[in-house]
A and B are shown apart, each in its own frame.
Chain A
Amino acid sequence: MGAAFLTLLKRDLTLAMRRRSDWLNPLVFFVIVVSLFPLGIGPDGSLLSEIAPGVIWVAALLATLLALDGLFRDDFDDGSIEQLLLSPQPLPVLVLAKILTHWLISGLPLVLLSPLLALLLQLKLQALPTLLGSLVLGTLSLSLIGAIGAALTVGLRRGGVLLPLLVLPLFIPVLIFGSSSVAAAATGFPVSAQLSLLGGLFFLALALAPWAAAAALRISAES
């Protein structure tokens, strides 16, 4: 089981590295969206640093959403999803491998790039560790929750339009705790409550989402 997990992870990572646009586009999108805010509301530094936690978090959420549609799409189109379904390994484990790959190519780069955007929006330096920590926990949860929506819509021709409608409401708790942890850190308040709630959401998503996504994938593959 562990071996199958690693093999799938390796295969998907190699494939993803070849298709550069898959992981590069959401990243560029993330940067552009964040840089639109100063242009939209003016270059007032104090205002920007005040809204920075929310802006960075919303942009990260949208970038994750953008990458989400490709999570099962290619495997579905070339039929390799059938092999996953027929494999003797438990499907939720394989789905988890795919979600982890997806996070490594879409979520992790977002996290690594976020300090740069924090700089652009003049977020206080003391909030940086919390920003990184909350984004790691948060984007992992987003990938897990989003995978359910991606699996439900992968068989549809216009699934890309439907996907945000299904998963955005489910992203709200992650957004609330994520951005408020950064906001609290920027104003010097303790952040342990928010971060442990984010951790709780992550473990809940980790425990439930692979099963739900696997069930959804079976349905999508049958129709």
Chain B
Amino acid sequence: MFRWFHKLASTKNFYRLAEIMTPLLAVACALLIGVGLYQGLFVAPTDYEQGESYRIIYVHVPSAWMSMFIYMVMAFCSLLFLVWKMKLADIVAEVSAPLGASFTFLALVTGSLWGKPMWGTWWEWDARLTSELILLFIYIGYMALRSSIENKSSAARAAAILALVGVVNIPIIHYSVEWWNTLHQPASITKLGKPSIHISMLIPLLLMALGFTLFYFVTMLLKTRNVILEREVNSAWVRERIKEDRL
């Protein structure tokens, strides 16, 4: 198990694996999102309370899930990097941050677009939207810290510490915001999601969520390969591959 792990952690082997996996994942991702969109837009019935507006769920909820999932990946990679000095983990954390921030942004905007017909306002200090907003700030802080430290290895370690500090704080922030929200908000305002969702609406949601996850992996692997190439310009295996023209 550990040897297998170690082998994967070498950038050369990871590059090879990513090369094989990327097209497979991309096809699966396109299929899942395609079927999910079809089912979500055409097959799933109209919600009797929210009408057709509920269909925003099929992009809002997967985006919100991804925003948290990607942060967990970043935190896990930061731990691997700090404890075992695994360079590959640092690259994955680095390229994941902008993707996570993108999904957080999407969750916020689609939440706002969904909130307008439901609440009558573009922004409501709903617990989940507020948590997403704070998560966006955390992503931005992470990227800002990384880009403002010139020494690459210091930047990587400082960012890793910040990611771990963030992962301790995110649940605390989440629960404190939820608590704050129940304290201040009258019960008349219905919250996003958390419905007793019907199975025919749930299946497209799960398809979309899985599709978004695969999309993250495809893009993350592509970006990781770019960074590996940039960082290892002078290594033997990259030279070999340039010579054979298969990058």
A interface list, Cβ under 8 A from B: 148, 152-153, 155-156, 158-159, 162, 165-166, 168-170, 172-173, 176-177, 180, 197, 201, 204, 208, 212, 215-216, 219-220, 222-223
A159–B179 Cα distance when bound, in Å, is 33
Which residues does chain A contribute within 8 Å of B206, judged by CB atoms?
A: none
Which residue from B150, B153, B165 sits with its C-beta under 8 Å from A170?
B165
Choose among A166, A215, A216 the residue with the greatest number of B CB atoms under 10 Å from its CB: A166
| Nearest opposing residue in chain B for A159, CB measure | B148
- Contact status B154-A176, CB under 8 Å: no
- Contact status B157-A219, CB under 8 Å: yes
A197–B175 Cα distance when bound, in Å, is 11
Choose among B166, B173, B176 the residue with the greatest number of A CB atoms under 10 Å from its CB: B176
A109–B201 Cα distance when bound, in Å, is 57
Which residues does chain A contribute within 8 Å of B183, judged by CB atoms?
A: 180
| Nearest opposing residue in chain B for A208, CB measure | B168
| Nearest opposing residue in chain B for A222, CB measure | B154
16 CB contacts below 8 A, A to B, read A148-B162, A156-B149, A162-B144, A165-B144, A166-B145, A169-B138, A170-B166, A172-B176, A173-B173, A173-B176, A176-B176, A176-B179, A197-B176, A212-B164, A219-B161, A223-B150
A57 → B minimal CB distance (Å): 13
A152 → B minimal CB distance (Å): 5
Given A220-B158, A222-B154, do A169 and B173 touch, yes or no (CB 8 Å)? yes
Tell me how many residue pairs across A and B have CB atoms closer than 8 Å.
Answer: 74
Which residues does chain B contribute within 8 Å of A148, judged by CB atoms?
A: 161-162, 165
| Nearest opposing residue in chain B for A201, CB measure | B172
Which residues does chain B contribute within 8 Å of A180, judged by CB atoms?
A: 180, 183
Which residues does chain B contribute within 8 Å of A170, judged by CB atoms?
A: 165-166, 169, 173
Which residues does chain B contribute within 8 Å of A168, judged by CB atoms?
A: 137
A33–B151 Cα distance when bound, in Å, is 37
B121 → A minimal CB distance (Å): 21
A177 → B minimal CB distance (Å): 7
Choose among B140, B150, B166, B180 the residue with the greatest number of A CB atoms under 10 Å from its CB: B180
Which residues does chain A contribute within 8 Å of B166, judged by CB atoms?
A: 170
- Let me know if B45 is at the binding interface, CB within 8 A: no
- Contact status B172-A158, CB under 8 Å: no
- Contact status A169-B172, CB under 8 Å: no
- Contact status B176-A152, CB under 8 Å: no
- Let me know if B134 is at the binding interface, CB within 8 A: yes
A10–B86 Cα distance when bound, in Å, is 41
A122 → B minimal CB distance (Å): 21
Extra inter-chain contacts (13) besides given A170-B165, A219-B154, A223-B151, CB under 8 Å: A148-B165, A155-B149, A162-B144, A162-B148, A165-B144, A166-B145, A169-B137, A169-B138, A169-B169, A219-B157, A219-B158, A220-B154, A223-B154
Which residues does chain A contribute within 8 Å of B151, judged by CB atoms?
A: 223
CB-defined interface of B43-62 with A at 8 Å, one 1/0 digit per residue? 00000000000000000000
| Nearest opposing residue in chain B for A200, CB measure | B172
- Contact status A223-B137, CB under 8 Å: no
- Let me know if B177 is at the binding interface, CB within 8 A: yes
A197–B137 Cα distance when bound, in Å, is 24
CB-defined interface of B176-200 with A at 8 Å, one 1/0 digit per residue? 1101100100000000000000000
Given A162-B145, A169-B137, do A152 and B158 touch, yes or no (CB 8 Å)? yes
B182 → A minimal CB distance (Å): 11
- Contact status A165-B140, CB under 8 Å: yes
- Contact status A215-B161, CB under 8 Å: yes
| Nearest opposing residue in chain A for B164, CB measure | A212
- Contact status A169-B134, CB under 8 Å: yes
Choose among B138, B149, B166, B173 the residue with the greatest number of A CB atoms under 10 Å from its CB: B149
- Let me know if B23 is at the binding interface, CB within 8 A: no
Which residue from A155, A169, A216, A222 sits with its C-beta under 8 Å from B161?
A216
Which residue from A159, A165, A215 sits with its C-beta under 8 Å from B137?
A165
Which residues does chain A contribute within 8 Å of B140, judged by CB atoms?
A: 165
B131 → A minimal CB distance (Å): 10
